[in-house]
Amino acid sequence: MAKQYSRAQRVGDQIQRELAMLIPREVKDPRLGFITVTGVDVSRDMGHAKVFITLMNNDSAEDIEQNLEVLSEVAGYLRMLLGKSMKLRSVPQLHFRYDESISRGAYMSALIEKAVASDRSDEPAGGDE
């Protein structure tokens, strides 16, 4: 049986695909780093959309804040471009947020690797006992 997706999820997926292409192509601000759109949550009334982004190679608090500021400044322009490319009666307002899940996942992976390496170094050299 096919999985049911709500209209808000489908619109969010389409907005994510469109923004992934529009941001690097249309936003010419030199302060903007290499951004990846990781997800979009659209409200049920289609009025607002939270756009989750990550930055590649520079995830300091200053860089994150600066990139979010740039994206907030061009949100209206991006919304206008979305309106032209998508067939929607009204395009949701865009609210950009930093997605910490990738950096948190990398941190957890490093902790696991460290624990495994520590366990290996604590094993006796003889093997089976």
Element housing 38 (H / E): strand 35-42
- Residue spans of the domains in the chain: they are 7-122
Question: Would you state the pLDDT for residue 2?
Answer: 54
For residue range 75-112, what is the model confidence (pLDDT) as tens digits?
Answer: 999 999 999 988 888 899 999 999 888 778 888 888 89
Which top CATH class is 7-122?
alpha beta
Give residue 38's pLDDT band: very low, low, confident or very high (50, 70, 90): very high
Question: Would you state the pLDDT for residue 49?
Answer: 94
Among 64, 46, 47, 38, residue whose Cα is nearest residue 9: 46
In sequence order, which residues have a C-beta less than 8 Å from that of residue 95 and are 6 or more positions away? 48, 49, 50, 51, 75
Six-digit token pair at 86? 């998508």
Q: Read off the pLDDT of each residue in 55-64 and give the average, rounded to a whole number.
A: 81
Six-digit token pair at 50? 């939270």
Position 127 pLDDT exceeds 60: no
Spatial contact of 43 and 49, defined as CB atoms under 8 Å apart: yes
Give residue 33's pLDDT band: very low, low, confident or very high (50, 70, 90): confident
What is the spatial order of strands in the sheet that 93-98 belongs to? Answer: 35-42, 48-55, 93-98
The vertex-99 CA angle with 94 and 100, nearest 5°, equals 160
For the whole prediction, is pTM greater than 0.85?
no
